[in-house]
Each structure stands twice: as structure tokens, then as C-alpha cells.
Amino acid sequence: MKRTYKRAVTVLVTLAMSVGLCFGLAACGGGGQSDEQMIRAELDEAFGVLKNPTEESIKEMLNGDTSSLDELAQYGVDPVEMLKHFFGHFEYNIDSVKVDGDKGVATVTITNADFQAVMNDVMNNLQNDQEFMTAAVAAYQSGNEQDLYKLIFDKLFKAIDETDQLVTTTTDFQLEKKDGAWDFTEEGQQALMSSMFGGMDFSQL
């Protein structure tokens, strides 16, 4: 069961990361705004998608590549509902924005669930949940993989919703301006992923 659980968690986090890795700042015009004002406005818009996801906003973040959404559908997972669970505790504050030419740094404080702790707790407690184990064994023996994964996903989502294990990080996100638009550098993207998932160690998946 632990192997199945780990696979299920990897699927969800990988697919959530596919959204995160496409997470960028909107290439909107300045409209007379300073670079600092543009960055703040674009960060607010981007983080707003995580706080209030819709099917349209997710597809927009994925730049039309819906392959990850198709994979989620194979597991019977609604991507909007998944992000609502994953980012139900998500809060942020843009502490400061500094610009030097085409380089910028946005200092942002982010709070979200401690995904590593929650996922470990769920995995360690599965064997002691008799109701879950009975249903999981029945799904496994029937060969219904989607039902089995749904049981695991439901358990994980409920644990994330109910957790009081939160992590707050303050991070300097590196930004760069290309063709008149601001976006995260590769370093900034990696820092963003860690902050979004409560400092989760993805190498352990």
C-alpha cells in the first residue's frame, strides 16, 4: 500500500508542479506604471489564480498544453478541486519589489500547508485505518485502479484541508525583464515551487 500511496502522491504533486512550472507573470502592458508597480500587479494576478483557480485560468497558466489535465482525468481528479485543496491555506504578502535595469527582486512572504508533514502523516496512518484498508483492498482486488487512487486522493485532500501544520517562508524571488515583460528567472522559479508547497523536498518523491 505504501508503494501505491507514494505513486499516487507523486502523480498529484508532479501534476501540480506542471502548473507551478508554467506559473509566470502576465505579459501585460505597463499602462504608465513603473516597473515596480507592474511586478506587484502581475504577482497579485498570478497568485490570485492559486487562491481562486478556475478551469480557464489553469489552462491559461499551462499555455494551452492540457496533457497534464488529461492525465489527471485518467485518475478521476478535477484539477480545479485539486488546486483548491492544495492551496486552501495559501496566503501571501508582497513585502517589497526592487528593480535594477532588467533585473528585479520581489520579496514575498508565503504561507501554505506543510505538504511533506501531511503526506508523511497520511502514509504512516493508512495501515491503521481499517475502513480505508477494507475499501482499498476491495478496489485493488477488483482491478479498479481509479477507485483505489480516488480513495488515496480523498484521504490526502481531507488531511490537507484539516491540517494545522503550516509553513511560512519569506523568499527573494529573482526576476528578469525580456521583451518588455517581467518573469521569474530559473532560480526564482525553483524558489517559488519550494515556497508554494511549504518547503517540500521534491527529491524524496
pTM: 0.81
pLDDT one-digit tens code per residue, 2-53? 666 666 766 676 666 665 545 556 555 556 789 999 899 888 888 888 888 8
Dist. CA 68–CA 202, nearest whole Å: 18
Residue 159 confidence class, pLDDT cut points 50, 70, 90: very high
pLDDT one-digit tens code per residue, 113-142? 999 899 889 888 887 888 888 888 898 888
Region of 180 (left: φ > 0; alpha: ψ -120 to 50; beta: rest) is left
Residue 15 has a pLDDT of 62
Decide: 172 and 107 in contact? Cβ < 8 Å.
yes
Q: What b/e readout covers 98-120, taking b as 16+ CB neighbours within 10 angstroms?
A: ebeeeebebebebebbbbbbbbe
- Comparing CA positions, the residue from 147, 177, 164, 182 lying closest to residue 75 is 147
